[in-house]
């Protein structure tokens, strides 16, 4: 790595993040668990498969339509466990607070943590609070780390996509990132843009009940759908074709994206899940997903193929094809 200083795009979830992980972290901390670079690590413990994942949240603003940094911190970690096929059980909560943060704001955030935990059916079992002098950080940062158990027979991983797999998403793309950004920029639209932040464990467990042989589950957070698909294509050594026509994007997100000059395919989601499933089971899984409150707008958006391994191609409306690369640069710092 021939860069001298940390830049914003090292936190983007895209190409620069990946470089940082490979060059600085993996080279020094390497082990069998870390190397997989899945949403959660999986360890064998007392005869069970335990998933463990960590995430820090630095979202700005801390309150936004559809949630706040507290609910986001629970959803994000619950979802990373879910994407490993794990049943989330326990979370820890690490708070870093700026001196002067109002108790009212803190209380609202902890209320959201409590509510989100309850909905997801998990317990916060340990916590830690640090306070940093005023001006040395921005309001509140949260770390949540979670553990969960992976049921026997479940084996989902970003390495498991197979040619022929159908790619399903559980709803509209880009809602979280665009909601945050319009708040931050003070933009107003007729229809309020609301984050999709939500816990996906119950949706995932309903899918796994239908078909425990789901190959990949991935939540397209930082870097968006395009970056998540690139990671899967790279880890699994398959090509992925995405049908532009079938991408579910709401009108408000589409028009806000145009105004802001953003591509929704690279915008963070916090309640979305990419599902790779063998073609013969796809319709059954899709039907199940549509019945779930967090899956009503589920759609098939693409397929995995032996062509172009490691690459993601967008099949455009007009019949053309363009390469969907990983996110490069950082369009949206502090989106989560």
Contacting its own copies within 50-69 (CB under 8 A): 50, 52-58
DSSP-derived letter for residue 47 is T
Nearest to 335 by CA among 227, 224, 259: 224
Choice from 143, 211, 305, 328 touching its own copies (CB under 8 A): 143
Q: Does 5 bind its own copies (CB under 8 A)?
A: yes
Choice from 46, 188, 317, 320 touching its own copies (CB under 8 A): 46
| Contacting its own copies within 234-263 (CB under 8 A) | none
Is 83 exposed, middle or buried, given 0-12, 13-18 or 19+ CB atoms closer than 10 A? buried
Q: List CB contacts of 294: < 8 A, sequence separation 6 or more.
A: 170, 171, 198, 200, 202, 203, 271
Q: Which is nearer to its own copies, 101 or 314 (CB)?
A: 101
Q: Does 75 bind its own copies (CB under 8 A)?
A: no
Choice from 33, 237, 291, 323 touching its own copies (CB under 8 A): 33
Choice from 124, 249, 254, 300 touching its own copies (CB under 8 A): 124
What token pair was written down for 103? 């108790």
Give me the least distance between CB of 274 and its own copies, in Å please. 19
Q: List CB contacts of 285: < 8 A, sequence separation 6 or more.
A: 168, 207, 210, 211, 214, 275, 277
What token pair was written down for 213? 């042989």
Is 228 exposed, middle or buried, given 0-12, 13-18 or 19+ CB atoms closer than 10 A? buried
Give me the least distance between CB of 264 and its own copies, in Å please. 22
Q: SS3 string of 265-309?
A: HHCCCCCCCEEEECHHHHHHHHHHHHHCCCCCCCEEEEEEECCCC
| Contacting its own copies within 151-170 (CB under 8 A) | none
What token pair was written down for 25? 């972290």
Question: Residue 33: helix, strand or coil by DSSP?
Answer: coil
Question: Residue 219: helix, strand or coil by DSSP?
Answer: coil
Q: Which is nearer to its own copies, 30 or 280 (CB)?
A: 30
Q: Does 190 bind its own copies (CB under 8 A)?
A: no
Q: How far apart are the first and last CA of the chain?
A: 26
Q: Which is nearer to its own copies, 40 or 298 (CB)?
A: 40
| Contacting its own copies within 79-118 (CB under 8 A) | 89-90, 92-104, 106-107, 110-111, 113-114, 117
Interface segment toward its own copies; rule CB under 8 A; list 11-19, 162-170, 194-202, 312-320: 11-19
Give me the least distance between CB of 330 and its own copies, in Å please. 8
Interface segment toward its own copies; rule CB under 8 A; list 35-43, 186-194, 212-220, 251-259: 35-43
Q: Does 323 bind its own copies (CB under 8 A)?
A: no
Q: Does 40 bind its own copies (CB under 8 A)?
A: yes
Choice from 22, 121, 132, 192 touching its own copies (CB under 8 A): 132
Q: Does 147 bind its own copies (CB under 8 A)?
A: yes
Q: How many residues does the chain have?
A: 336
Q: Site size for its own copies, by CB under 8 A?
A: 80
Give me the least distance between CB of 246 and its own copies, in Å please. 31
């Amino acid at each position: 790595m021939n860069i001298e200083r940390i830049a914003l795009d090292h936190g983007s979830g895209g190409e620069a993040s990946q470089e940082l992980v490979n060059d600085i972290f993996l080279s020094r901390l390497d082990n069998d668990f870390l190397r997989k670079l899945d949403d959660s690590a999986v360890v064998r413990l007392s005869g069970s498969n335990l998933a463990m994942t960590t995430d820090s949240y630095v979202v700005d603003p801390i309150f936004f339509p559809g949630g706040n940094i507290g609910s986001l911190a629970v959803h994000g970690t619950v979802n990373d466990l879910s994407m490993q096929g794990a049943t989330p059980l326990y979370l820890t909560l690490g708070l870093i607070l700026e001196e002067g943060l109002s108790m009212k704001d803190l209380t609202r955030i902890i209320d959201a943590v409590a509510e989100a935990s309850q909905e997801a059916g998990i317990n916060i079992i340990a916590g830690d609070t640090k306070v940093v002098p005023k001006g040395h950080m921005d309001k509140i940062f949260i770390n949540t780390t979670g553990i969960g158990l992976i049921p026997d027979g479940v084996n989902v991983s970003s390495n498991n996509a197979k040619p022929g797999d159908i790619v399903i998403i559980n709803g509209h793309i880009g809602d979280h990132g665009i909601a945050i950004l319009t708040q931050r920029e003070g933009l107003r639209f007729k229809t309020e843009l609301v984050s999709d932040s939500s816990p996906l464990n119950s949706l995932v467990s309903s899918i796994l009940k239908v078909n425990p042989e789901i190959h990949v589950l991935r939540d397209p957070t930082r870097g968006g759908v395009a970056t998540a698909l690139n990671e899967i294509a790279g880890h699994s050594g398959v090509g992925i074709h995405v049908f532009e026509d079938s991408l579910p994007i709401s009108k408000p997100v589409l028009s806000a994206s145009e105004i802001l000059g953003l591509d929704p395919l690279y915008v963070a989601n916090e309640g979305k899940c990419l599902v790779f499933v063998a073609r013969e089971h796809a319709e059954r899984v899709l039907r199940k997903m549509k019945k779930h409150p967090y899956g009503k707008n589920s759609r098939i958006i693409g397929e995995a193929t032996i062509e172009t391994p490691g690459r993601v191609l967008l099949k455009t409306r007009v019949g053309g094809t363009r390469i969907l690369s990983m996110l490069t640069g950082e369009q949206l710092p502090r989106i989560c």
